[in-house]
Amino acid sequence: MAGKQGIKPNDLYELKTVSDPQLSPNGEEMIYIETYIEKETDDYISNLFYMNLDEKKPIQWTFGKEKTSSPVWSPDGNQIAFVSTRNGQSQIYIMSKNGGEARQITFSKNGASTPVWSPCGKKIAFSTKIRQNETVEECPEKEKAKDTKPLIVDKMKYKSDSGGFLDLELVTQIAVFDLEQNKLEQLTNEKYDCHLETWSPDGKYISYTANTTEDTDFSFVNDIFLLEPVTKQTKNITEGIGGFSHTSWSPNSHYLAYIGSEREYENATQAKLWMYDVEKGIKTCLTEALDAPIGDFIVGDFLQGVVSPRVQWLNDSQSFYFQVTDHGNTMIYFGNVFGEIYPALNNNEHVYGFSLNPKNESALACISGPVEPSDLYYVHLQTGKKERLTTINTEFLANRVLSCPEKIDFKGEDGWTVHGWIMKPVDYQEGEKYPTILEIHGGPHAMYGNTYFHEFQTLTAEGYAVIYVNPRGSHGYGQEFVNAVRGDYGGGDYKDLMAAMDFALRSYPYIDQERLGVTGGSYGGFMTNWIVGHTDRFKAAVTQRSICNWISFYGVSDIGYYFTEWQILADLKNIEKLWDHSPLKYVNRIKTPLLILHSEQDYRCPIEQGEQLFIALKRNGKETRFIRFPDSNHELSRSGKPDFRIKRLEYIRDWFGEYLSSN
């Protein structure tokens, strides 16, 4: 460790992410996306890279200061389609793998996305937004800026945290571009959004998802449709029973795999793997007996450009591989149409993307670990043997020292087994006492896991121990566990978090019980507010993008009215229950110095939540400070403006430094 230092907030500018690997049809080449932050422009830059798997030498294929995404090989492996913002807006381009300039094939005035090759390789389907009285073939010129005018609102779902105020006249439709005839054709013309999924290998169907319910304010259905490109006839195969997406065809086009649920527990329902037999018209849930969610539910604050992989098939059209989240890991499972399911790649790591070689059951895998931010591996799924293909952060990390988490398990007050980790300070010395910070994730239906977390590493570099656990409500520990928080916010989950501190204090004598801090964002911000209103054991706290008042949250959040009913199990007819679960009710009890961090354009947990808490604390003479981040939304800590992400970490560091210092 001589001459090395721990991770600093501004090291975000030095770290890179690899994502969205795509194996070529011949299994000998791959393409992927590499993302980094450019300090001069304070923006994210992503480019397309190529690698021959025999030579294993990364070659950059696109350059510039734009964002590149969604790369996909043509069926013959000679061309690549991808999305780029090089002309100021997301459009689809194709390029030859043998070199040459990329050709722009879409000029949609509202942008284009999700390129999907036809099996013959002569067409590319894509998604674009158009107005209901327009067609994709009409004038492609960019829309002129509109004069400011009042916003007329008729629907409850009229804004989103990522999109701001929604233009409800724009509808997502599916079109196809014929590369030989240089001709554009619109395939859907509906009053509702049609989200492109996949093209069947026999060319007969294009799958897409849509919610056809008229009153979408109270509908959370997402159905899967099969569209015949020639006749434009469609068939709804899920028939309004839940929310489904991520379709994937077997090579012989007999089966369509997809992910989703019937929402038995609303948004706390674990996603399952389903199979549709196209010839028989029968759908089957293949993971009913697997008490773990399908997909990736690990939360972090570093990775960029992550794309959730679909089910990926072997050539026998009966077997496949897919993602599962379980006990702190996201792993790859094997399955088949007969219902056989078992883990194939099950290490203490975060497999956040993969691309299967259907010929030999190997895969390209994007992997992150607690001390390994991001790299690509070649994995043999039958043996688990891994070969590293990239070393994008190795040179930088050679001059840094990282804290390696230690797994912890303990019994909560009500008998639940709770799982988590503890990290020592990077300068740990036996016999010393260290301030310790409890971190709480958002969601609540998410999971801390074995992945790189920049915030945690910056805190350990400052001399803090860090504890982070998955209390009830977290994914990865079964359906009963993830559902247990609903209607009980601040109850059993609070007990689990306090049990985590009790366990750590009993088990790790280096923790200074007089210098404890707590922080979290979103649901973690709610729990931070709740904790300081119910115990004085923490000497400092930082609440981020939090909820403090369920009554006002009901009407101001982009998800408020239904999320509150799902999670608190109450609406405005039961004000008392909403108020009982609101940290603002207990503000007079708060003695812990509390830093409030909030984004101005946060529509998920609107900034009025932070404002209410700040004013109530100041009015009662409490120690508090309110920091508002302009031009930022709920995703500030993960994908916000890099400079603000760094400032946020510095504010957290300095607040804990002020109140947890030994001086």
Q: Left, alpha or beta for 605 (phi > 0: left; psi -120 to 50: alpha)?
A: beta
Residue 289 in tokens: 């007996």
Distance CA 14, CA 91 (A): 29
Distance CA 491, CA 35 (A): 41
Give the list of residues 6+ apart from residue 480 with CB closer than 8 angstroms, or none.
none
522 is catalytic: yes
The single residue of 419, 441, 475, 634 carrying the catalytic annotation is: 634
Closest CA to 22 of 309, 349, 295: 309
Cα 403 versus chain centre, distance:
24
Distance CA 147, CA 485 (A): 46
Question: Do 268 and 486 meet the contact criterion of CB atoms below 8 Å apart?
Answer: yes
Phi then psi dihedrals of residue 9, to 5 deg: -50, -45
Closest CA to 615 of 625, 630, 605: 625
The single residue of 522, 552, 582, 599 carrying the catalytic annotation is: 522
Distance CA 633, CA 588 (A): 29
Residue 350 in tokens: 């975060």
DSSP 12-40: GGT--EEEEEEE-TTSSEEEEEEEEEETT
Closest CA to 447 of 416, 417, 411, 471: 471
Distance CA 204, CA 227 (A): 8
Phi then psi dihedrals of residue 192, to 5 deg: -120, 165
Q: How, if at all, do strands 594-599 and 540-544 pair?
A: parallel
Strand ordering across the sheet containing 272-277: 243-249, 255-261, 272-277, 282-285
How many other C-beta atoms can be found within 10 angstroms of the C-beta atom of residue 270?
A: 23
Phi then psi dihedrals of residue 561, to 5 deg: -70, -40
State the catalytic residues.
522, 634
